[in-house]
Structure 1
Amino acid sequence: MLSLLGFLTVFIFLYLIMSKRMSVTAALIIVPVITALIGGFGASIGKMILDGIIKVAPTGIMLMFAIFYFGLMLEVGMFAPLVERLVRLVKGDPLRSCWQQRF
């Protein structure tokens, strides 16, 4: 029963997103909560949500820092010399920038 609810959650989520009936954020919040209520986990939903946030928060903070850091480095031109050298190396041809292995 629980695995069926899990698959049902995924299928409902995909249907709602692909048919554009619901935004991704809303579907990620509403669909699992509804299936958890159907599965009989109503009393423990809050604890499950908090446990999930506690596990994911450090990764989210690290990702946010990386986006800010590399955005700042891009703005100040830190990567410009590297990009210019790479463009010169491949003679402006984007296909040459792809690494190819030949057997």
Structure 2
Amino acid sequence: LFGLLGAGWSLGKRHGGQWGEDARRMFRTWAISGVLYSFAVPGVSIPGHVGGLIGGALLGYLLVPQARRMGAVARNPPWLVLLAGLALFSVPASFALAALHFGD
């Protein structure tokens, strides 16, 4: 979720205008609330949440300008599409590995 918050913030940053400012404000508010909540709940990985936020913001920042300018995400450079695919694959893979390791 924090990766999506970061990507949404980047989308607002790249889009600009009033819509972009409103999007940045909304995603920033949710991210700050989430990080504060992470401090309040014991056992929550704060570095994991912050890492997701930063990773999502970077991927969003890299992917959004190409998609907006060219009109299709498929026209992004192949290395960037591969990087985004690996990032998307790593989340469910980490859950599956955690379930195998810590499961009943």
- Using structure 1 for the length normalisation, give the TM-score: 0.32
Q: Give 1 or 2: higher helix fraction.
A: 2
The structure with higher relative contact order (CA 8 Å, sep 6+) is 2
Larger Rg, first or second structure (1 or 2): 1
- Using structure 2 for the length normalisation, give the TM-score: 0.32
